[in-house]
Structure 1
Amino acid sequence: MSRHLLAMALPPLLGLFILGIGNGFLATVITLRLDAAGESPVVIGWVSSAYFIGLALGAMLNDRLLLRIGHIRAYGSFASLVAVTVLLQGLVAEPWAWFALRLIGGWATVGVYLVIESWLLASGDARVRGRLLALYMISLYAAGVFGQLLLGVTEGMGGATSFIVIGMLASLSVLPMAMIPRVSPLIEKAEPLSPLRLITLTPTGVMGSFGSGLLVAAVYSLLPLYLQRTGLAVDRIGQMMAVVVLGAMLLQYPVGRWSDRHDRQQVLILIGAFCTLISLAVLWLPMNAWLLAGLLFLLGGGVFSLYPVAVGHAADRAPAGALVRMSQGLLLINAIGSALSPPLISPVMSLLGDAGLFWAFGGLGLFLVAFFVWRRSVRPAPVPVAPFHASTPMSAAGAELAITDEWMQGAIEHEHIEDLSGAVPEVEVAEPLVGPPPSDEPHIVYYDDSRADAPQPPPAQEAPSGIERGSGRG
């Protein structure tokens, strides 16, 4: 990857990292504050889902603003709106107000993601695009780790401190984008594909993106509630959430590399089975702090790896020129799954208790495994064909290709002698090197240079007279 490309990608990645630190623990702060105020899991789930509804709306609409005003100004607009909505949450502590503010905040946040993803996709070609997106995911998850660790510090100060710090970080994230020279990559207008068209093209990619939205949204919005009700202090909850995001960050690249070398559909099956087993282990094994942290680390690595592998599988089947449109469509599908996750899973927690969260994780993982196995049986992975080895064609064209530079030089020298003497030399027929015994009829000589023991063409001085380039005569 060139230095110029790294310099081009650094400002948006740095801005994402700064904004992601605050955004990484905002969902945890909201969940803990609502639970401390005595709100039910259903109310907490609906307030959390408002953010993901905003993500879905932004995935459909925000590209128009980006195309109208450009990357840098669009980023400044979206990040400023994120800061305003967070600061207002520190002033108004009502569930209905937080629902509306989280809706607007989700709409603005997905605008930030759209700016950065389109910037990176347009900056590099297919040879480096995977590495750029890997840096994008690592920046996002690393920010989430720092954000969760910051949770205990800001919540210990009480009041609106957490919302003020998050708003400050959102405002500061504009600086890397605003201070670079006014140069940004060009991007063509690309409307997202319809969900029906996406399902037709890649059912596995759509279901993987949808299932990832369900699982990741539950991790961010409902896992802190589970941890708090198990008796953990706020700072320990932040540490546990940091462990989850750390697992997502550290296991992201190995899983992605694994999916590059194997059938991605098979990788998705194994990820779903892995998430199911980890969820059952949390339910059935006697828990202590270290074992819980280790299982949450693995769960984060599995849950957060589901989306990029599903997108990679869909990109493998994307029509020419539809990669960006497919990415936007899958982002919309993922946002829809995220919006539906808290309202669907929080009633399970009310019915089965706090452990219902991991029963839901296990059930979702098992459903994804069944769906991926079914799709693999319907559409197996393509079998690579035998490698192609070039050889000289056994045809008239092959005879033309067999004429070497030495043969051509010999023919030119002979024609030069002919021009000087004015005499027409007698044409001699070359003896065959490959084929039947000599006969009275002229014939074409074929050479098969794919065999080590194949005969070689005669030297230049033995070349027959009258050879013309492309004549097919030997």
Structure 2
Amino acid sequence: MSRQLLSMALAPLLGLFILGIGNGFLATLITLRLDDAGYSPVVIGWVSSAYFIGLALGAVFNDRLLLRIGHIRAYGCFASIVAVTVLLQGLWLDAYAWFVLRLIGGWATVGVYLVIESWLLTSGDQKVRGRLLAMYMISLYAAGAIGQLLLGVTDAAGVTQPFMVIGMLAALSVLPMAMIPRVSPLIEHAEPLSPWRLITVTPTGVVGSFGSGLLVAAIYSLLPLYLQRVGLSVNQIGQMMAVVVVGAMLLQYPIGRWSDRHDRQQVLILIGAFCVVISAGMLWLPLNTWLLAGLLFLLGGGVFALYPVAVSHAADRAPAGALVRMSQGLLLINAIGSTLSPPLITPVMSAVGDGGLFWSLGALGLMLVAFFIWRRSVRPAPLPVAPFAPSTPMTSVGAELGVTEELMQGAIEHEYAEDLSAVVPDVEVAEPLVGPPREDAAHIEYFDVDAEAGPHGDDDQGEPGSRG
């Protein structure tokens, strides 16, 4: 990777790292604060669900704002909204107000991810995008782990101080992006495939993406509640949540490489069964600190690997022209699963106790296993042709990053491509996202005012954009 490319990617990755520390901290903090205030698990679940509703809405609409004002200014807008919503949550504690603020915060947060992922996606050609994605994943997971550890550090500071720290981190994340006078990358907008078409083309991919949303959202939103109610201190909760994130970071790639060499349907079956076994261990084993940490490490690695393997399986089945749009559609389905997860699982926790979280995770795992086995018997999988690429379900552009040249060539040669083209007759092969702007009306190039202001980046000069 060239020094010039590394310097261009450094600013968005540093901004992501700073904001990601606060974002990983906030999800757990909100759950613990609401529980301390006496709210029921159902109320906590709905407040947590608001964030994922915002993620889903932002994944659909935020690219329009980005196209209008450019990457750098869009990042500043979204990060500022994140900071404001967090600081408002620190001013007063009310579940209804927090629901609205979390929804707005989720919408703004996915806008930040959209800016960063699209910046990285268009910074280099296909030969280096995989390495840029790996750097993105490392930054995201490392920030999440550090954010969880901040729980113990700020626990003694008071009620409002943690929210102030998170708000300051969101504000500071603007600096790396704002200090670089550079032309913004060019992105395109593509509408996702409808859910019905996705189900027709890849039922396993749809169910896997939806199930991943259910499981991951439960871990982020409700696992801190479980850990607090079984007697762990705030510092210990932060450490255990960090263990989950580290497990996701370390195990996702080996599982993905394994899926490249074996039947992906079989890998999905084993991941679902693995989640069932870990959930049973959480319910019935006599847990101590080390055993709890080990089980959570494995749970994070298995659950977080479900989505990229499901997307890779879907790409194996897709005609080449539908890959990008399919990735966007699966991302939205994943966000819908994340939205529904807390409201579905918290009533179980209220009915059967705190262990209801793992009863629910185990039941979800069993249903996924049953569905994957049924699909494998109906339609056995061919040899994998879509190289696995670890991906985090954040935005549609992030999903596009996993669509490689090898994946598209493999899908073209796939024995099912001709049949599936009849299901999706109107798709076209996506244009390259890197290259000179075209002169037709479908492509618009935007420049941040920083780039037009001259070498010193004076933000008072220049206009926000022009039609290419």
Is TM > 0.5 for Structure 1 vs Structure 2?
A: yes
Question: Paired residue for 2:458?
Answer: none
Matched, 1:57 2:23: no
Q: How far is 1:214 from its partner?
A: 0.6
What is the aligned residue count? 385
Shift in alpha-carbon separation, 1:382–1:124, aligned structure 2, 3 A: farther
Whole-angstrom CA distance in 1 between matches of 2:75 and 2:315: 26
Whole-angstrom CA distance in 2 between matches of 1:265 and 1:39: 41
**Tell me, which stretches of 5 or more residues in structure 1 are unaligned?**
386-474
Shift in alpha-carbon separation, 1:79–1:37, aligned structure 2, 3 A: same
Asked if structure 1 preserves the Cα contact closer than 8 Å seen for 2:31 and 2:44, the reply is yes
* Deviations, residues 71-105 of structure 1 (Å, cap 9, x unaligned): 22222211111111001100121111000000100
Question: Paired residue for 1:190?
Answer: 190
Matched, 1:291 2:260: no
* Deviations, residues 30-58 of structure 1 (Å, cap 9, x unaligned): 11111111111111111111111111111
Question: Paired residue for 2:200?
Answer: 200
Question: Paired residue for 1:356?
Answer: 356
Question: Paired residue for 1:175?
Answer: 175
Shift in alpha-carbon separation, 1:71–1:199, aligned structure 2, 3 A: farther
Report matched runs for 1:311-460 at 5 Å: 311-383=311-383
Where relative contact order (Cα < 8 A, 6+ residues apart) is larger, the structure is 2
Shift in alpha-carbon separation, 1:5–1:208, aligned structure 2, 3 A: farther
Percent of aligned positions that are identical:
84
Asked if structure 1 preserves the Cα contact closer than 8 Å seen for 2:263 and 2:382, the reply is no
Whole-angstrom CA distance in 2 between matches of 1:72 and 1:318: 34
Asked if structure 2 preserves the Cα contact closer than 8 Å seen for 1:66 and 1:74, the reply is yes
* Deviations, residues 116-143 of structure 1 (Å, cap 9, x unaligned): 2222333344444333333322221111
* Deviations, residues 303-360 of structure 1 (Å, cap 9, x unaligned): 1111122222223334334443333222211111111000000001111111110111
Asked if structure 2 preserves the Cα contact closer than 8 Å seen for 1:155 and 1:161, the reply is no
Question: Paired residue for 1:301?
Answer: 301
Asked if structure 2 preserves the Cα contact closer than 8 Å seen for 1:311 and 1:330, the reply is yes
TM-score norm. by structure 2 comes to 0.79
Question: Paired residue for 1:209?
Answer: 209
Whole-angstrom CA distance in 2 between matches of 1:138 and 1:233: 28
Question: Paired residue for 1:269?
Answer: 269
Q: How far is 1:20 from its partner?
A: 0.7
Which residue identity is paired with 1:30? Answer: I
* Deviations, residues 187-210 of structure 1 (Å, cap 9, x unaligned): 122122222222222222221111
Asked if structure 1 preserves the Cα contact closer than 8 Å seen for 2:260 and 2:384, the reply is no
Whole-angstrom CA distance in 1 between matches of 2:131 and 2:260: 12
Report matched runs for 1:218-297 at 5 Å: 218-297=218-297
Q: Let me know the Cα RMSD of the aligned residues.
A: 1.8
Asked if structure 1 preserves the Cα contact closer than 8 Å seen for 2:316 and 2:384, the reply is no
Question: Paired residue for 1:136?
Answer: 136
**Tell me, which stretches of 5 or more residues in structure 2 are unaligned?**
386-468
Question: Paired residue for 1:6?
Answer: 6
Asked if structure 2 preserves the Cα contact closer than 8 Å seen for 1:134 and 1:253, the reply is no
Asked if structure 1 preserves the Cα contact closer than 8 Å seen for 2:83 and 2:170, the reply is yes
Larger Rg: 1
Question: Paired residue for 2:429?
Answer: none
TM-score norm. by structure 1 comes to 0.78
Q: How far is 1:19 from its partner?
A: 0.7
Q: How far is 1:265 from its partner?
A: 2.5
Shift in alpha-carbon separation, 1:222–1:383, aligned structure 2, 3 A: closer
Report matched runs for 1:135-154 at 5 Å: 135-154=135-154
Secondary structure at the aligned position of 1:222 is classed as: helix
Which residue identity is paired with 1:192? Answer: P
Question: Paired residue for 2:112?
Answer: 112
Question: Paired residue for 2:421?
Answer: none
Question: Paired residue for 1:96?
Answer: 96
Whole-angstrom CA distance in 1 between matches of 2:162 and 2:267: 39
Shift in alpha-carbon separation, 1:314–1:71, aligned structure 2, 3 A: farther
Matched, 1:66 2:60: no
Whole-angstrom CA distance in 1 between matches of 2:256 and 2:132: 13
